[in-house]
């Protein structure tokens, strides 16, 4: 308990400092009332998590607080993204029901769905404003088709009760996150506000991640231990350095969300009208990235940066200029005293973490063998054939989402899965091109969202992303942006200070 109190003091001290420093920036993208409410909700959840003796007490407080905040918040997607990682995702308890051994596991993701997303979805469906729910896009169709395919594939092997349970969990885990993000953000202002909320929480995670790495102390693991949901392999090291994870649950996942926050900040920072602040914000996100010692997300962040430049106005000259500057910086780093360590940390080149590269190669080989045996519909019991990949922690780590989907759901399932995001990117590109001449700000916003989705597609080849809440929430924002192209009056800039420098770079 004492260790948890110390961790709570560290977390809240850093968070309060970031809230104070970031408030003037955040108020360019949201009202002070909304900022204050969201900040207080996050603080309340954090205090409860560290002080509560049980998960049930936390769940009760969280549902009450989040339901209250969700009812008052005009942008549920922004609130959702701010509190998405209030506690580690692996912390939760099974809900027992008479006659059923286990109903489902209740964790923070599902608490957020019940308290914020489901009520917001219901309000959207009942709303008379058909701008939100009107229209059914090809991206929507692919999301629903892939969800239905996952349900149908296992139906011959399970009871109707279990199928109903899986359908219910698909709705509260994935579909409502996509629906609320894509339908509640009906204006540029709402999309930008959601991005700013996500950047705000990542600005808190960055110094906390640096603290964890330097001190060798994971601040949030004590919560799960006290609640009976410990993670025995939480402490991961690379070259003797602790890989930070804060409350995200894994260093790879933390690296991914920091890369996405960096992509969001490429747009948001330019709206602050301060080149210095733009650079400092990017540095903060990279501090969090580096503290994870996760090389895949580093690559994702670089991909996002270059994709952002390439998609934006005058993309080719900006891209060439950035590539030249990057080459000079990389050259200077390599000839510096830390150059040797950098080379040793590179995948396939250096010796640091070589075991993970070998494991990924073995997974790729065996995945291809399984895909060849069941190419179209996949094999829902494929894990039985991958036992030699089971690691010391007792898990088979499917660190490639594409391989995982193809093995379980075949190339048909993979096409539906990947097609969702490719169609979303195509729709967003159409909106961005339509705004190229008349609205540079809208074009840059689209560049950031598209670049982050391109980076996500790269990330999916490096690891898996939990149950998909984060992935489909981001996909929902991309879909919301694409929908702006069909309604020019909704795409206009408002008076929240989003028009900063015309050149974001």
Question: Which DSSP state fits 238?
Answer: E
Q: In this structure, are residues 131 and 186 in contact, taking their beta carbons and an 8 Å threshold? A: yes
Q: Residue 126's Cα: distance from chain center in Å?
A: 28
Q: Is the pLDDT of residue 285 over 90?
A: yes
> How confident is the model over 153-167, as a mean pLDDT?
89
Q: Is the pLDDT of residue 68 over 60?
A: yes
Q: Is the pLDDT of residue 339 over 60?
A: no
The pLDDT of residue 129: 67
- Contacts of 485 by beta carbon, 8 Å cutoff, 6+ apart: 427, 430, 431, 434, 435, 491
Q: Which of 81, 504, 23 is nearest to 265 (CA)?
A: 504
Concatenated DSSP letters of 303-355: HHHHHHHHHSTTHHHHHHHHHHHHHHHHHHHHHSTTHHHHHHHSTTTSSTTHH
Given pLDDT bands bounded at 50, 70 and 90, which one contains residue 316?
confident
End-to-end CA distance of the chain: 47
Distance (Å, whole) CA 336 – CA 401: 36
The pLDDT of residue 388: 78
The pLDDT of residue 390: 76
Given pLDDT bands bounded at 50, 70 and 90, which one contains residue 66?
very high
Q: Is the pLDDT of residue 354 over 60?
A: no
The pLDDT of residue 131: 59
Q: Please give the residue that has the higher pLDDT: either 157 or 410.
A: 410
Strand residue runs (E) in 171-268: 237-238, 241-242
Tell the residue number behind the tokens 């929240």, with chain if given.
496
Please tell me whether residue 127 adopts helix, strand or coil conformation.
Answer: coil
Q: Considering the chain, what is the average pLDDT of its residues?
A: 86
pLDDT digits over 397-455, tens only?
777 899 999 999 999 999 999 999 999 999 999 999 887 667 889 999 999 999 999 99
Please tell me whether residue 381 adopts helix, strand or coil conformation.
Answer: coil
Question: Which DSSP state fits 486?
Answer: T
The pLDDT of residue 496: 43
pLDDT digits over 4-57, tens only?
899 999 999 999 999 999 999 999 999 999 999 999 999 999 999 999 999 999
Distance (Å, whole) CA 87 – CA 96: 22
Paired with 95 in beta bridges are 104
Q: Is the pLDDT of residue 488 over 50?
A: yes
Give percent of the chain above pLDDT 70: 86
Q: Is the pLDDT of residue 467 over 80?
A: no
Q: In this structure, are residues 209 and 289 in contact, taking their beta carbons and an 8 Å threshold? A: no
- Give the CB-side neighbour count of residue 498, counting CA atoms within 13 A: 26
The pLDDT of residue 364: 82
pLDDT digits over 206-215, tens only?
999 999 999 9
Q: What is the largest CA-CA distance in the chain?
A: 67
Given pLDDT bands bounded at 50, 70 and 90, which one contains residue 249?
confident
Q: Is the pLDDT of residue 341 over 50?
A: yes
Q: Which of 89-98, 297-306, 323-332, 379-388 has the highest mean pLDDT?
A: 297-306
- Is the overall model pTM greater than 0.85, yes or no? yes
Q: Please give the residue that has the higher pLDDT: either 395 or 46.
A: 46
The pLDDT of residue 436: 64
Given pLDDT bands bounded at 50, 70 and 90, which one contains residue 79?
very high
Distance (Å, whole) CA 420 – CA 433: 20
The pLDDT of residue 29: 95
Q: Is the pLDDT of residue 491 over 60?
A: no
Distance (Å, whole) CA 409 – CA 374: 9
**Token duo for residue 412:** 């048909």
Query: Lowest-pLDDT range, 56-70, 157-171, 200-214, 231-245?
Result: 231-245
Q: Is the pLDDT of residue 497 over 50?
A: no
> How confident is the model over 134-142, as a mean pLDDT?
87
Q: Please give the residue that has the higher pLDDT: either 335 or 211.
A: 211
Give percent of the chain above pLDDT 90: 57
């Amino acid at each position: 308990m004492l260790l948890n109190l110390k961790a709570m003091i560290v977390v809240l001290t850093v968070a309060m400092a970031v809230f104070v420093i970031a408030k003037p920036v955040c108020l360019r993208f949201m009202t002070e009332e909304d900022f204050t409410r969201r900040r207080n909700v996050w603080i309340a959840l954090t205090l409860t998590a560290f002080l509560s003796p049980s998960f049930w007490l936390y769940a009760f407080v969280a549902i009450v607080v989040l339901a209250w905040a969700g009812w008052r918040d005009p942008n549920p997607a922004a609130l959702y993204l701010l509190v998405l990682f209030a506690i580690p995702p692996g912390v939760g308890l099974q809900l027992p029901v008479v006659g059923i051994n286990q109903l489902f596991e209740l964790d923070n993701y599902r608490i957020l769905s019940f308290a914020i997303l489901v009520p917001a979805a219901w309000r959207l469906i009942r709303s008379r404003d058909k701008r939100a729910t009107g229209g059914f896009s090809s991206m929507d169709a692919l999301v629903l088709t892939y969800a239905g395919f996952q349900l149908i594939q296992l139906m011959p092997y399970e009871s109707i009760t279990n199928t109903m349970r899986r359908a219910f969990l698909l709705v509260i885990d994935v579909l409502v996150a996509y629906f609320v993000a894509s339908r509640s953000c009906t204006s540029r202002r709402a999309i930008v506000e959601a991005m700013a909320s996500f950047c705000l929480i990542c600005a808190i995670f960055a110094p906390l991640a640096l603290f964890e790495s330097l001190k060798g102390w994971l601040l949030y693991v004590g919560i799960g231990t006290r609640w009976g949901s410990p993670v025995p392999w939480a402490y991961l090291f690379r070259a003797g350095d602790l890989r930070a994870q804060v409350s995200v649950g894994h260093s790879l996942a933390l690296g991914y969300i920091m890369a996405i926050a960096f992509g969001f900040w490429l747009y948001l920072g330019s709206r602050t009208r301060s080149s210095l602040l733009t650079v400092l914000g990017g540095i903060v996100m990279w501090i969090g990235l580096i503290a994870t010692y996760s090389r895949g997300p580093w690559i994702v962040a670089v991909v996002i940066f270059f994709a952002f430049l390439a998609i934006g106005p005058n993309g080719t000259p900006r891209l060439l200029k950035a590539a030249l500057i990057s080459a000079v910086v990389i050259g200077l780093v390599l000839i510096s005293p830390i150059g040797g360590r950098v080379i040793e940390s590179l995948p396939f080149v250096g010796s640091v973490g070589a075991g993970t590269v070998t494991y990924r190669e073995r997974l790729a080989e065996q995945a291809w063998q399984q895909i060849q045996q069941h190419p179209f519909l996949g094999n829902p019991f494929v894990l039985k054939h991958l036992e030699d990949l089971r690691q010391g922690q007792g898990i088979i780590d499917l660190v490639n989402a594409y391989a995982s989907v193809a093995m379980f759901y075949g190339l048909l399932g993979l096409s539906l899965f990947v097609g969702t995001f490719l169609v979303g990117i195509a729709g967003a590109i159409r909106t961005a091109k339509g705004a190229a001449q008349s609205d540079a700000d809208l074009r840059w916003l689209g560049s950031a969202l598209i670049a982050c989705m391109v980076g996500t597609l790269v990330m999916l080849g490096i690891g898996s992303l939990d149950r998909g809440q984060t992935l489909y929430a981001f996909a929902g924002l991309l879909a919301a942006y694409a929908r702006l192209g069909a309604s020019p009056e909704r795409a206009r800039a408002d008076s929240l200070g989003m028009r900063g420098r015309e050149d974001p770079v």
